[in-house]
Amino acid sequence: MKNKLSSLGGLVYSTEAGRMCPACRQPVAQCVCKQAVVPAGDGTVRVSRETKGRGGKAVTLVKGVALDAEGLAALGKQLKAACGTGGTVKDGVIEIQGDHIERVMAALIAQGHKVKRAGG
């Protein structure tokens, strides 16, 4: 039996570092995976309309906003309220339900963003 345990080779469990982050395997105090990564772009916010994969329903997409996750969620909430519709924020892209390109562009320009219409 002793030979079997020694064949496992090394430390199995330790409480030395405390709680560990499951993603980056660092102590929770030194975790780097939760830090906000602001996407580097060209400074232009692109607004487009998409229907692909949505059962024919139009969705307005806002890409290229250089904000962290909390700022992006707040901007998404403001845009949804301005359009009077629902939406979400996924992978750094704000999705607004419906075809609201003009309203979204006007709201972003009012906030001082450089906006460009993308797609058709």
Q: Tell me, what's the pLDDT at 106?
A: 92
Model confidence band, residue 110 (pLDDT cutoffs 50, 70, 90): very high
pLDDT surpassing 60 at residue 1: no
Residue range 23-54, pLDDT digits in tens:
777 777 777 776 655 555 677 889 999 988 88
User: Is the model's pLDDT at 60 over the cut of 90?
Assistant: yes
**Cβ 69 vs Cβ 35: under 8 Å:** no
Query: Binning pLDDT at 50, 70 and 90, where does residue 118 land?
Result: confident
Q: Hey, which bits of the chain come out as E strands?
A: 44-50, 59-63, 87-90, 93-97, 114-117
Which pLDDT score, from 0 to 100, does residue 43 have? 78
Least confident of 15-19, 66-70, 86-90, 109-113: 15-19
Helix, strand counts (H, E) of the chain? 3, 5
The reported pLDDT for the residue numbered 86 is: 92
- Is the per-residue pLDDT at 61 higher than 70? yes
